[in-house]
Structure 1
């Protein structure tokens, strides 16, 4: 074997690097805005911002209930939305046949949906409870913890592969959140209690982790089972769990509500917004991913702030516009490149990471060529026991029965 001159190797490597750089430059130069802003991406952005507007609706109605009517019943509001899901989607499962019937689902995996319902209910409850102990700024910042947790869980359980553009996009979105928090501080909107900041921050982190688990489970269910099954089971177990918790922790607050048509209307608006949010989110999750949906929901606080400018007389800051634009840029960049799943190894054996696929293909082609040449050198009368050895599989194959398929 001839020895290669190290200088030639270095020169070859530099040429290959230059070729790669030139290829990247040509791709960037030829990049067309139409290749990025496709119709599917526009629909995804529009749908995700509709979800953010629904969250804004729940925030505004909750703010009115708390500030104008002194109603503090977050579990009652959650119970209403779960009850609506149960009435529609759980009832739909009752009329299904086969494996999609509710009794078959409960027989196979009732305990999984019970845990998922518990996680979802407590995620909603703990984030509302955190407002009693910490500030709005801390909640807005720490609530972003859901995004890295979702990415880790998706990578671990769903085998999702992220590319560098996805990490850069997440960083851009978090910069937008930082701009929003800065605008809040400049406008003097650092609201909330400071009675026990450490406990409140811990509740926010717990809520973000629970939301991440719920969203990843939702992504798996809607992509591998069905949207109706997920919503029906969440509605069933969410209603049971939130109903029990409602009777334990909020029965006094419910008794103190001074009901009138305005309070009833606010409760109805909250319930419809949350019901629509739960119904539509699986559609967007199925089209994108749980991570992308959580990135899009970062704009919900900004929508609430814009509504607060007119409804609650908040102070406007130009950083709110900057924050909205930055978050949308990060979200669009995240969705321009689709995430992929790690392919499963059907043989169940680990692949040798040191093997070069090109070398393997070359070995197979050489072996097949040698086999064909040996076959051509022999006539039909030279014995039926003639065999060829396939070095890629380390086995002998009879001449008459050897297949020519790769």
Structure 2
């Protein structure tokens, strides 16, 4: 039965299909673009494309090293990046006091960060190794496997609640990737090897799964612990693991490099781009989510292609621009609706009382319960929870800043 909301407007009954359609129409009529396309959304898009530009920088420097100087030492490149993280963030942990010092952290969670470092190093290594066995087209397509795996892991471990608009947005982004791959095929850029396609495709899928695990761990750590702890521990164990792997697998390749200032500059450029990417990515993840960040990184291949038009004389196709627009539309649509914790599990919200948001975990549970009740009421009144909480006084860092 229809009821009246506090404003005197007859509300619809969600159990009735006709009333549900009327509710959707009312929401569409009340749609205000200024409430969706906010300055925060603009900053989110800009930060995501900044990360994509950094990945583009790593791709361009790697391409120069491989094509112009015949350097094949991906583990050396990773080792340099992890070393920079270790020198800065691990050192910062050494000078912290109390439980935030490096030694108490290692005492409590050393084995977890050891596994995380191993996952991160091997994720980088396996995708580079895949280029020896399969084609660029296969890598671009299969690398998108990270997004569904990441969404599944986020639902299981982070209790993220995705809405239909998020799934539609992801499909739109993947459609843009398909357009990019089609443009590559038309331009004759199906590069790479075909020596063992099955092995190469398996390595790409393995890399995507490892990246998903690493990104979920990163999102949990930066939202519940600290960004410096995550980067310091990844830098420490990443340096150790990549250093051992470098000595075992690439000692001959490194010894055969004909060093000069150009090669040194390219190595330095790669290491700085990757170091900046690792340093900035947790900031964007904390403001949005790991899934949103990976969607924004889909444009990295396109940015690399645009650079290749001038640096490596790639053939241009109008589908590249279409692909870029489609991916950006999907990314924007994904960030217009919040991904909230699962209301069925109020014990695991995406807020952190240890960082000063709340003094007591019970306050968080109470806040989530109130939010769930107001959300159910909002389904009848046409007023969303986000609109209701805009005028509430909530501690500055007590609520997730995800869009």
For Structure 1 versus Structure 2, the TM-score category normalised by the shorter chain is 0.7 to 0.9
Q: CA deviation at 1:139?
A: 0.1
For residues 82 and 174 of structure 2, the distance between their equivalents in structure 1, rounded to whole angstroms, comes to 31
Query: Which residue of structure 2 lines up, in the alignment, with residue 354 of structure 1?
Result: none
For residues 340 and 186 of structure 1, the distance between their equivalents in structure 2, rounded to whole angstroms, comes to 41
Deviations 1:195-231 (A, max 9, x none): 0000000000000000000000000000000000000
Say whether residues 1:230 and 2:230 are aligned partners: yes
Query: Which residue of structure 2 lines up, in the alignment, with residue 164 of structure 1?
Result: 164
For residues 192 and 29 of structure 2, the distance between their equivalents in structure 1, rounded to whole angstroms, comes to 49
For residues 166 and 221 of structure 2, the distance between their equivalents in structure 1, rounded to whole angstroms, comes to 23
For residues 174 and 211 of structure 1, the distance between their equivalents in structure 2, rounded to whole angstroms, comes to 17
Say whether residues 1:240 and 2:240 are aligned partners: yes
- Write the mapping of 1:26-45 to structure 2, written as runs, cut at 5 A: 26-45=26-45
For residues 196 and 189 of structure 1, the distance between their equivalents in structure 2, rounded to whole angstroms, comes to 19
Q: CA deviation at 1:260?
A: 0.5
For residues 214 and 165 of structure 1, the distance between their equivalents in structure 2, rounded to whole angstroms, comes to 25
Say whether residues 1:319 and 2:315 are aligned partners: no
Structure 1 runs (4+) deviating above 2 angstroms are 12-20, 343-347
Contact kept? 2:90, 2:236, Cα under 8 Å: yes
SS of the residue corresponding to residue 221 of structure 2 reads helix
Query: Which residue of structure 2 lines up, in the alignment, with residue 369 of structure 1?
Result: none
Query: Which residue of structure 2 lines up, in the alignment, with residue 328 of structure 1?
Result: 328
Deviations 1:240-293 (A, max 9, x none): 000000000000000110011100000000000000000000000001111111
Contact kept? 2:93, 2:102, Cα under 8 Å: yes
Structure 1: where are the runs of 5+ without partners?
A: 1-11, 348-356, 359-406
Deviations 1:344-393 (A, max 9, x none): 3569xxxxxxxxx99xxxxxxxxxxxxxxxxxxxxxxxxxxxxxxxxxxx
Query: Which residue of structure 2 lines up, in the alignment, with residue 147 of structure 1?
Result: 147
Q: Greater CA deviation, 139-148 or 336-345?
A: 336-345
| TM-score, normalization by structure 2 | 0.82
- Write the mapping of 1:4-403 to structure 2, written as runs, cut at 5 A: 16-343=16-343, 344=345
Structure 2: where are the runs of 5+ without partners?
A: 1-11, 348-361, 363-372, 375-403
For residues 203 and 324 of structure 2, the distance between their equivalents in structure 1, rounded to whole angstroms, comes to 26
CA 1:164–1:306 in structure 2 vs 1: closer, same or farther (change >3 Å)?
A: same
Deviations 1:297-334 (A, max 9, x none): 00000000000000000000000000000000000000
Q: CA deviation at 1:181?
A: 0.2
Q: CA deviation at 1:161?
A: 0.7
For residues 286 and 158 of structure 2, the distance between their equivalents in structure 1, rounded to whole angstroms, comes to 13
| TM-score, normalization by structure 1 | 0.81
Structure 1 or 2, whichever has the larger Rg, is 1
Q: CA deviation at 1:18?
A: 3.0
For residues 118 and 14 of structure 1, the distance between their equivalents in structure 2, rounded to whole angstroms, comes to 49
For residues 346 and 286 of structure 2, the distance between their equivalents in structure 1, rounded to whole angstroms, comes to 24
Contact kept? 2:13, 2:19, Cα under 8 Å: no
Contact kept? 2:13, 2:20, Cα under 8 Å: no
Q: CA deviation at 1:17?
A: 3.4
**Between Structure 1 and Structure 2, how many residues are aligned?**
339
Q: CA deviation at 1:34?
A: 1.4
For residues 14 and 33 of structure 1, the distance between their equivalents in structure 2, rounded to whole angstroms, comes to 25
Q: CA deviation at 1:15?
A: 9.9
RMSD over aligned Cα atoms: 1.8
CA 1:345–1:338 in structure 2 vs 1: closer, same or farther (change >3 Å)?
A: closer
